[in-house]
Amino acid sequence: MHQEKTVDLHTHSTFSDGVLSPTELVTMAKRKGLAAISLSDHDVVEGFGELAEAAADNGLEVMSGLELSCEYNGRDLHVLGYGVAVDDAPLLGMLKEFCDARERRGFGIVEKLAQEGVHLDMDVVLAKAGKGALGRPHIAEALVEGGFAADFAEVFARYLGENCPAYVEKYKMSPPEAVAQIHGAGGLAFVAHPGHYLEDMDAFLALLDEGFDGIEVHHPHHRGATTGQLLQIATERKMLVSGGSDFHGFKGRDNMGEPRVPYELLEKIKERLN
């Protein structure tokens, strides 16, 4: 029996807060039997060159992407951009501002930890980030290795989560700004993992009117009813549908290819891009 081709349009690499390099993502995608993946690192696009090179050598289809950090109605909102030109100068300029803000935030978090008697070597933290953008997972990793917490869950519950002693507000943009940046770079904008926004349906529908092209319907956090509801909204509004694992690679997020996302969704995204 012919097996349906599947894709994963939401993966993260070492260029943001993932565990695997873009090359290793390609290796895993091939092992999982995926036909295509998109690299959607947080607020960076630098990993796509390595991904595309590795994919060409392995016969895997790839699409450029990124995940922008926004705020909507006082809550975190993530916006996925597919098919962006990764050499677009305005996009790269905006992302550099993001990266600089993330680094300032990282230094601020480490300073707050020191005030709590938890001392980390900033050079060790920066080494965790490597060539990627500094984020809370890198600080969390240093805290676990330093014996200050048993695992990431404890780190975020005790130190780094909202309302915790070392929390520092993240620089975020508005959804219309994110959509404009993605469209300006030739891409399409999708609301990422929107399941938990559905509790205020009026606000969610108003959000979709901010110029979005599609909705990430298929996601590990979406149960059957949520997936069905999002699919209905996308159909009624003639919006594109995407999906992916939100793969990061650390324990509990080693789920590339889940849920199963049909290749035809990628085809429809490519048709719109063209």
pLDDT of 185-203, one tens digit each? 999 999 999 988 888 999 9
Taking all residues of the chain, what is their mean pLDDT, rounded to a whole number?
A: 93
Say if residues 36 and 263 touch (Cβ distance below 8 Å): yes
Give backbone dihedrals phi and psi of 204, rounded to 5 degrees, phi first.
-65, -45
Phi-psi region of 230 (alpha: psi -120 to 50; beta: other; left: phi over 0): alpha
CA angle 84, 88, 93 (to 5 degrees): 115
In tens, the pLDDT along 216-272 reads 999 999 988 999 999 999 999 999 999 999 999 987 667 999 999 999 999 999 999
The residue ranges of every structural domain in the chain are 6-94+171-273, 105-160
% pLDDT > 70, the chain:
98
Q: 6-94+171-273 domain in CATH 3.90.76.10? A: no
- Cβ contacts of 146 within 8 Å, gap of 6 or more: 120
> How many other CB atoms are found less than 10 A from the CB of residue 226?
17
Answer whether residue 41 shows pLDDT above 50: yes
What order do you get walking across the sheet with 261-262 strand by strand?
240-243, 214-218, 188-191, 75-82, 61-72, 36-39, 6-11, 261-262
Q: Is the peptide bond before 259 cis (omega within 30 degrees of 0)?
A: yes
